[in-house]
Amino acid sequence: MLAASATTLPLFAALSACAGPDPLAGPPPLSADVRSLLRAVTAEQNLIWIYKRTMASYSALAPSLGVLLAEHQAHVAHLRARIVEPPGKSVPDTVTSKPAVPGTPATALAQLRAAEQSASTAQLRRLAGASPSLAQLYASIAASEATHVTALTALGSQNPG
């Protein structure tokens, strides 16, 4: 049991006088890094959704696309690992963009390529203001997505019709 002493009472009084966080005021606003991470997670979820739908529509592409999909799933895992989730709450698993799968493998691959390029560019916009290690994570994911653009271009040349 903690007994009040000559040192604890003045300390308690001093702490009570501080303008600390108000527990009734609701959760504190999200930091810029967390808001940026949440947007990055959503962007990756959108890409994963397109990959899964494309693979379901064109099973012959699934082996090649599955490799790239797995890398996006790794991106999401590492991005989510940077966000401390409060008890009882988790990072939303939201997909905000669900484009239709185009009617041919070639156009479906072109859609994926455009989505990868757009995602890579968006990662670069997140660099400003990010902590150094988070900036490196965004840059690495942007580079991974740039290699996906190249891989999808090669795959598209093998599936011209």
Partner 1 sequence: MHENQGQGPQALAALQAALAAEHAAVYGYGIAGALLTGDNRAKALADWQSHQEARDTLEAMIIKLGATPVAASPAYELPFTVSGAGSARRLAAALEDGVTQAYLGVVAVTDTTLRTFGALAMQPPANRAAAWRGSTAAFPGMPSGTIPA
Positions that interact with partner 1 (CB under 8 A): 67-68, 70-71, 74-75, 78, 120, 123-124, 127-129, 132-133, 135-144, 146-148, 150-151
CB nearer partner 1, residue 101 or residue 126: 126
Exposed/middle/buried for residue 157 (C-beta within 10 Å: 0-12, 13-18, 19+)? exposed
CB nearer to partner 1: give 104 or 140.
140
C-alpha 76/C-alpha 90 separation (Å) is 13
For the CB of residue 11, give the shortest distance to partner 1 in the complex, in Å. 34
Nearer to partner 1, 21 or 156 (CB): 156
Cα–Cα distance, 137 to 107 (Å, whole number): 30
Residue whose CB is less far from partner 1, 11 or 77: 77
Q: How far is the CB of 7 from partner 1 (least distance, A)?
A: 37
Please state, in angstroms and as integers, the Cα–Cα distance from residue 109 to each residue in 31, 85, 102, following that order.
36, 35, 9
H or E element that contains 144: helix 132-158
CA-to-CA distance for 135 and 130, rounded, in angstroms?
5
Q: In whole angstroms, how close is the CB of 34 to partner 1 at the nearest point?
A: 17
Give the shortest CB-67-to-partner 1 separation in angstroms. Answer: 7
